[in-house]
């Protein structure tokens, strides 16, 4: 018996299974949670440090490096990145997925508080879980061709800002 003959003999049972799968798919589609801005917990924390008007070189050696070393000892830390400028430093901690971020943030704050006394006087610290802002700027025009449409994502980069400013300027000149 080949596959075609088998399908002919079991036609009703196959239709029943297909109908059952379609009903189950429709029911599960209506039960999926949907939200415009879903609450997604990224496994990332950010530590912001300020130490007055110290030059970037002093900030790196006196503040950033000791704090990085302390934060690397926090459990489940996958990666540590830092940006240091005059009088300020920002350290990003990437954790393993599935890490309890409330507990991880507390552990990071505890690690910083242990070495805070060794940092230069006047150094302040803020530590918190990182949430990524979602912004999108898109434009459409009914008179233009599809190739003329442009989309840009608003982020910290200045490129997108220039794109949106040029678009606004071209709209104002019409």
The answer on 163 and 94 residing in a single domain is: no
The answer on 75 and 145 residing in a single domain is: no
- Residue 94 placed within a domain: yes
pLDDT at 37 over 80: no
HEC string of 7-46?
HHHCHHHHHHHHHHHHHHHHHHHHHCCCCCCCCCCCCEEE
The domain that holds 93 is classified in CATH as: 3.30.70.1430
- Residue 166 placed within a domain: yes
pLDDT of residue 140: 53
Nearest by Cα to 128 from 112, 151, 109: 109
The answer on 110 and 149 residing in a single domain is: no
- Residue 33 placed within a domain: no
Cα–Cα distance, 45 to 37 (Å, whole number):
20
Edge-to-edge, what's the strand order for the sheet holding 88-95? 77-85, 88-95, 44-50, 124-129
* 136 within 8 A of 154, measured Cβ to Cβ: yes
Mean pLDDT in residue range 81-87:
90
Q: Identify the H or E element spanning 155.
A: none
pLDDT of residue 152: 41
Residue pLDDT, tens place only, 43-60: 888 889 898 888 889 889
pLDDT at 156 over 50: no
pLDDT of residue 20: 97
The answer on 83 and 112 residing in a single domain is: yes
Cα–Cα distance, 101 to 105 (Å, whole number):
6
* 127 within 8 A of 47, measured Cβ to Cβ: yes
pLDDT of residue 69: 92
The answer on 144 and 83 residing in a single domain is: no
Mean pLDDT in residue range 143-165:
45
- Residue 27 placed within a domain: no
pLDDT of residue 130: 64
- Residue 19 placed within a domain: no
The answer on 94 and 151 residing in a single domain is: no
Residue pLDDT, tens place only, 92-131: 999 888 888 888 888 999 999 899 889 888 888 888 776 5
Domain carrying residue 151? 137-172
pLDDT at 21 over 90: yes
């Amino acid at each position: 018996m080949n596959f075609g003959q088998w399908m002919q003999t079991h036609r009703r049972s196959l239709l029943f299974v297909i109908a059952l799968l379609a009903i189950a798919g429709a029911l599960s589609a209506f039960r999926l949670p949907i939200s415009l801005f879903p609450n997604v917990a990224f496994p990332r924390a950010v530590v912001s440090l300020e130490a007055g008007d110290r030059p970037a070189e002093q900030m790196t050696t006196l503040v950033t490096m000791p704090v990085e070393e302390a934060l690397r000892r926090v459990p489940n830390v996958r990666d540590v990145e830092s940006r240091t400028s005059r009088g300020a430093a920002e350290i990003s901690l990437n954790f393993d997925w599935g890490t309890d971020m409330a507990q991880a943030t507390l552990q990071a704050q505890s690690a910083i508080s242990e070495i805070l006394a060794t940092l230069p006087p006047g150094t302040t610290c803020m530590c918190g879980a990182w949430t990524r802002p979602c912004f999108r700027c898109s434009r459409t025009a009914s008179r233009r061709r599809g190739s003329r449409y442009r989309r840009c994502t608003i982020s910290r980069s200045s490129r997108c800002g220039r794109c949106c400013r040029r678009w606004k300027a071209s709209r104002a000149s019409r």
